[in-house]
Amino acid sequence: MTDIRLVNGDCVEESKNIPDNSVDLVLTDPPYLIGASSVGKPSRAGSWTDWMNEAHFYKSWIEQAQRVLKDTGFLVSFCNWRSMPVITKALTDLGLSITSVLVWDKMCFGQGSRKGLRPRYELAVFVAMKDAAIPNRALPDIWECKRVAPQNRATDHPAEKPVELFKKLICETTSEGALVVDMFTGSGTAAVACRETGRNFIGFELDTHWYNAALNRLKQEPE
């Protein structure tokens, strides 16, 4: 029987209750900083200054992830081209570095703007702790997994990820009975994936709406 826990609160503060070196995987999907702006008129892309300001926030939660992870653990964080420089800066400030970058091929096109290409992928960075290893040496860095269409989402969360994608990430980096932490639970996809793969889970969500949405999703989906 797995232990699945959701916490309605700030991930930086609430994660301080997790003991050092006790977590096998931190798997999370933080904000992508769309429209981030500290000065002037906000733009969808944001500016370099905005990104570097946001790196302070990223550093605060990654620091907790680093503390709670076992030496054999991984941090896996989704990102895109906007937030990649932010997470890189935050990791560098903490003496960490990206081990691998996963390209998630969503197998269908996003909207995009008339000035650019239509997006078909998102990224996930792997940050390995000092004794971490991927057992499957045939595992590539591009994975195909069809995105969740709006009409098929379990909640109304606009960035809901596929459960199958999260299950694969979890199974390739941990064993049954492992403890997985999600700093930004959102719609609860990681929680569902952990329950279906026999992993224990702690997830943090500050927004009460999404916290309740994740709770309801867990109640509705069969164990």
Backbone angles phi, psi at 168, to 5 degrees: -65, -45
Q: Which amino acid is at 93?
A: D
Cβ-based neighbours of 84, under 8 Å, separated by 6 or more: 123, 125
Whether the per-residue pLDDT at 77 is higher than 80: the answer is: yes
Number of structural domains in the chain: 1
Averaged pLDDT, 32-55: 62
What CATH number should be reported for the domain holding residue 169?
Answer: 3.40.50.150
Q: pLDDT at position 36, please?
A: 53
Whether the per-residue pLDDT at 220 is higher than 80: the answer is: yes
Q: pLDDT at position 110, please?
A: 83
* CB 187 within 8 Å of CB 158: no
In angstroms, the CA 93 to CA 156 distance is 35
Q: DSSP class of residue 35?
A: T
Tokens, residue 214: 């994740």
Least confident of 65-69, 154-158, 200-204: 154-158
Q: How many residues does the chain have?
A: 223
Q: pLDDT at position 32, please?
A: 82
- Show the domain range for 36: 4-220
Averaged pLDDT, 137-141: 97
> For residue range 83-116, what is the model confidence (pLDDT) as tens digits?
899 999 999 999 999 999 999 999 998 887 888 8
